[in-house]
Structure formats: structure tokens, C-alpha cells
Amino acid sequence: MAAKRGRPRDPALDEAILRATRELLLEAGYPGLSMEAVAARAHVSKPTLYLRFPTKGALVFEAVLGKTKALEMPDTGDLRADLGATYDAGVDEVAAAEARAALPILLAELSASPELARLVRSRVLGPEYHRVRNLLEQAQHRGEIRSDVDLRLVIDAFFGTALARAVILGGPLDHDFSAALVDLFINGMAPRE
């Protein structure tokens, strides 16, 4: 196996870049945000920024929808508690001012750019889908979810509902919404008598 070239990535630089991106989204909005401004705010070179995030869209998606990747996935053995904690974190992420400022334009860019779509699916959405699927599979093994439930469909609905509220419907995104939606999912997936 060949050794990796160069220095290992510094997670502190990644966080500085993402923090600068969120701050600039709040100050200038998505159209006013530039890679140059992010590099300057984060005190990194443009090559360092582009090495980590090849496009503005990829950077902003990571900044607004990648925050929960670092959170430990709950594993209490109780689907309602685990799903609730997971969804609360996702709702907080999508409801954040910087996400609401960026998501409408980002979603349009995502549908227009297959390369951006691939990047976002592999770096942001894919890992989150995998984490939630593991949570649901564990609940399925414990008998909390019917074996015939289409977990992919549940995950799509799980994420899509928050995005639709944030971008299209404009309804409240809060922990009451999260709890009601988790109840709906739990009741729909529960074993039948």
C-alpha cells in the first residue's frame, strides 16, 4: 500500500473555513459569498481552500449541512429517543439562518450540476444517510420496526420533510415539529398487531 503524500489535513483549518463560510453567508448571502472572502476570513490560502472544497457550492453545502457529521449517533436502544435526537440535530442544522440563506440557491445549483450533486451526495448526504440507516437497521433487529419497511424511503422522507419546510413551505422548524414527525415515523413503522 502506498504511503499518503503530504501532510495530514488539519481539522482546525477545516473548521475555520466552515465557520468563515457560515459567517459570510449571514453577512453577504450566498450570491455575495466568494471563495476569496472565505480564504481571507479563515486565514488560509486559496489553494488550501480549493484543495478541500473544489467549488463554492461544495463548500457551502458542507458548511450548512455537514455540521451533524461530527455528532455521535445516539444508541440508547430506544428508537424514539435515538431518532428524536438525530432529527433534532438535523432540524437545528436546516433551521439555522445560514442554511435558510443558502439552501434555495444551492438546491438549484445541485440540480444543474451533476459534479456538484456527486460531491454533495458523497461528502455530505451519503454519510448522513448511512448513519441514519444504521440506526434504523438496529431498531429493525430489535423488533421496533417491521421487517418490510423500506428504510430508504423512510430516510428520504426523514430528510426531505425538513428541507421542504425550510425551502418551500416556510413552516416552523423546531423541536415540536421534530417530535411530531418522529411520532409519525414511529407509528408508521411499528410492528402491526
Least confident of 22-36, 39-53, 61-75, 144-158: 61-75
Quick one: average pLDDT of 174-190? 84
Asked whether the predicted pLDDT for residue 171 surpasses 80, the reply is no
> Which residues lie below 8 Å from residue 102, measured CB to CB, with a gap of 6+?
25, 29, 30, 60, 64
In the chain, where the domains are located: 56-189
Q: Which of 64, 21, 61, 67 is nearest to 42 (CA)?
A: 21
Q: Which of 69, 56, 70, 74 is nearest to 20 (CA)?
A: 56
Quick one: average pLDDT of 8-27? 89
Fold of 56-189: Tetracycline Repressor; domain 2 (1.10.357)
Check residue 89 and give its pLDDT: 82
Percent of the chain with pLDDT over 70: 94
Q: Which of 29, 37, 177, 32 is nearest to 98 (CA)?
A: 29
Least confident of 70-84, 102-116, 135-149, 155-169: 70-84
> What would the DSSP string read from start to end of 125-187?
IHHHHHHHHHHHHHHHHTTSS-TT--HHHHHHHHHHHHHHIIIII----SHHHHHHHHHHHHH
Higher pLDDT, 171 or 37: 37
For residue 113, give the DSSP letter: -
Retrieve residue 175's grid coordinates. 423541536
Retrieve residue 143's grid coordinates. 423488533
Mean pLDDT of the chain: 85
Helices (H), 33-96: 35-42, 46-52, 56-65, 79-95
